[in-house]
Amino acid sequence: MKTNYCDYIIVGSGIAGLYIALLAIERGSVLVLTKGSIDDCNTRYAQGGIAVAMGKDDSPELHFEDTISAGAGLSDAEAVRILTDEAADCIADLIKFGVPFDTLDGEITLTREAAHSVPRVMHAGGDATGEHIEVTLSRQVRSTPIKVLENCLASEILVQNDKVIGVKALDCRTGSVEEYHCQYLILATGGAGKLFKYTTNSNVVTGDGIALAFEAGAEICDIEFFQFHPTVLRLPGVAPFLISEAVRGEGGILKNVEGHRFMPDYAVEAELATRDVVARSIVYEMNKTHSDRVFLDVTHLPSRLITTRFPHIYRFCRDHGLDLTKGLIPVAPAAHYLMGGVNVNNWGETNISGLFAAGETACTGVHGANRLASNSLLESVVFSKRVVQKTEMTTPPHYDEDRSDEAIFSCLPNRKVLPKIPPFNLPNLQSLMWDKVGIIRSGESLEKATDILASWESLLPQPSDRPSYELNNLVSCARLVTEAALFRKESRGAHFRTDFPQASPEWQRHIVFTKNVTK
Ligand SMILES: Cc1cc2nc3c(=O)[nH]c(=O)nc-3n(C[C@H](O)[C@H](O)[C@H](O)COP(=O)(O)OP(=O)(O)OC[C@H]3O[C@@H](n4cnc5c(N)ncnc54)[C@H](O)[C@@H]3O)c2cc1C
């Protein structure tokens, strides 16, 4: 077993996993486990960019205020302060590693995105920010002694005497399962977009870290808050492709299929309203016009701006027969980003000693009920750096949860197993989540979904390969999302219920699920 020991084991090779690996290798031995190839992740698809207050009219304080305001009353102020104050330091690291952020006359160029009060979003390759980050970090990792095991799926967290000792992992090519031991286990497994029928997320984003952490006894917080991106290409036979927020930031407008510009009817900020408002408005317009799409129009913008600022989107659309400079882009919302996740404190620590979480899989509290665009890449680096800083401290990791006063802790309720349920498979799970737990929810739709999910859970087969592990993890996450959404009897941020359409001060609290409630 000694040969399988490393000081740090990191699960996941997106921005959070690779950035942690690069910092941690200065302090000890590092093993990265990733279930696909190193660059299979959401990070590489990020388009818009990474937020940082560096413009002349900007400040960390203003960034703080915009983030708090997007979070709809649930952002953790201390965590947001850390995010905005420590941003520049982490961006300097990315630049040092070689991420080629776009510049003009030697100055980094900044874009404005929805709900940011000033231009603040750095980008690389126009709209290929994530790809540049992922390629740069993975190249750096390859130049160090960091060991990376691809096609290796973490399948169980090993805990002994309330402390993490390692992880079990499946070799996806041979089907064998091995134990890997460590001092620090860091989950950087991304979100859970594959829960839904329509999603912008990569196929590897199946909520594994959340399901494994919950099973091991970790706390799961704010999991009902799932962000749906308003503008995802909706073309028959074409996989959902994100049309970045920055396209609206640069002046793109939304029209329904009858040609009416509808966003000013719903919000004074029109197309620059927060994502939940824009996504819901699109759903209302689609219902009103009996259509499965609306249109994004950029034909009034200079062609050169479109082709130089959004080369990746321009090319993708052109390859599918759409010329953005001349025609309208058919779009509809899709599941995009999970605000909640494994509950961590401001150092990325979970309630299990030695177990950390970072990136989209963690709930640091910065996003609250709704994420401000381009804050997730930033959160991934700021709190990842803190994970490594914490492991350097001389005192052993100690969980110091700072949201417990404002949280309701609960186990999952017991539910009856239904005698007749739809067959358990990925398309049925994704359709159930899209139809009943999607952009517009109700007590009735959530009750139906929880009963089916609990019944499926009771029948889960023993997993043996990557698809079966992923499906089991997805159903566990689906249950957590749905139970939390049912529990929260209000609408707030990205969580909207027709039976409780308003936010309620009583619910300005977090919901935390854990297997063993002690608080
Ligand atoms: C299309 C798109 C555009 C986006 N645009 C932006 C943007 O412009 N700005 C912004 O801030 N955010 C954006 N986001 C969100 C942002 O990209 C993600 O939140 C961020 O990249 C998450 O990074 P991560 O390292 O946490 O996870 P990921 O990059 O998703 O990486 C997760 C890793 O974990 C691995 N993994 C998962 N489970 C296991 C397991 N069981 N065992 C082993 N490995 C496992 C995966 O293979 C993968 O390597 C966008 C997201 C998408 C999908």
DSSP 8-state class, residue 212:
H
What is residue 402's predicted lDDT score, i.e. its pLDDT? 57
What is residue 393's predicted lDDT score, i.e. its pLDDT? 83
First to last CA, the chain: 36
Please identify which of the residues 120, 234, 248, 275 carries the catalytic annotation: 275
Atom of ligand 1 at shortest distance to CA of 47?
Answer: 8
What is residue 1's predicted lDDT score, i.e. its pLDDT? 39
Asked if 9 contacts 186 with a C-beta cutoff of 8 angstroms, the reply is yes
Give me the sheet containing 241-242, strands edge to edge: 241-242, 226-233, 329-338, 294-297, 253-255
Atom of ligand 1 at shortest distance to CA of 361?
Answer: 26
Q: Around Cβ 404, how many Cβ atoms within 10 Å?
A: 14
The residues, any chain, with a CB within 8 Å of residue 461's CB and separated by 6 or more, are 468
Q: Encode 411-433: b = buried (16+ Cβ within 10 Å), e = exposed.
A: ebeebeeeeebeebeeeebbebb
Q: Is the pTM of this model over 0.85?
A: yes
Low-confidence ranges of the chain (pLDDT < 50): 1-2
- Residue nearest (by alpha carbon) to ligand 1 atom 3: 46
Report how far residue 272's alpha carbon sits from residue 222's, in angstroms, rounded to the nearest whole number: 25
Distance 42 CA to ligand 1 centre (A): 3
Active site residue 120: no
Q: φ and ψ at 512, to 5 degrees?
A: -120, 120
What are the strands, taking DSSP E only, across 77-221? 103-104, 107-108, 110-111, 121-122, 147-149, 152-160, 163-171, 177-187, 220-221
DSSP 8-state class, residue 413:
P
Q: Which residue among 23, 32, 39, 42 has the greatest number of ligand 1 atoms within 8 angstroms of its CB, and so is best to mutate? A: 42
Distance 227 CA to ligand 1 centre (A): 14
Asked if 358 contacts 186 with a C-beta cutoff of 8 angstroms, the reply is yes
Give me the sheet containing 341-343, strands edge to edge: 362-363, 341-343, 220-221, 510-513, 407-410
Distance 373 CA to ligand 1 centre (A): 14
What is residue 245's predicted lDDT score, i.e. its pLDDT? 82
Helix (H) or strand (E) holding 453, with range, is: helix 443-458
Report how far residue 451's alpha carbon sits from residue 470's, in angstroms, rounded to the nearest whole number: 21
Token pair belonging to 78: 């201390």
Helix (H) or strand (E) holding 357, with range, is: strand 355-357
What is residue 405's predicted lDDT score, i.e. its pLDDT? 62
Distance 203 CA to ligand 1 centre (A): 10
Asked if 198 contacts 240 with a C-beta cutoff of 8 angstroms, the reply is yes
Helix (H, G, I), strand (E, B) or coil at 510: strand
Q: Which residue among 377, 466, 469 has the greatest number of ligand 1 atoms within 8 angstroms of its CB, and so is best to mutate? A: 377
- Residue nearest (by alpha carbon) to ligand 1 atom 2: 46
Report how far residue 519's alpha carbon sits from residue 504's, in angstroms, rounded to the nearest whole number: 24
- Residue type present at position 414: N
Helix (H, G, I), strand (E, B) or coil at 245: helix
Token pair belonging to 193: 């977009």
Distance 251 CA to ligand 1 centre (A): 27
Show the ligand 1 pocket: residues with CB < 6 angstroms: 11-17, 33-36, 40-43, 45-50, 129-130, 153-154, 188-190, 200-201, 204-205, 208, 242, 337, 359-361, 374-377, 380
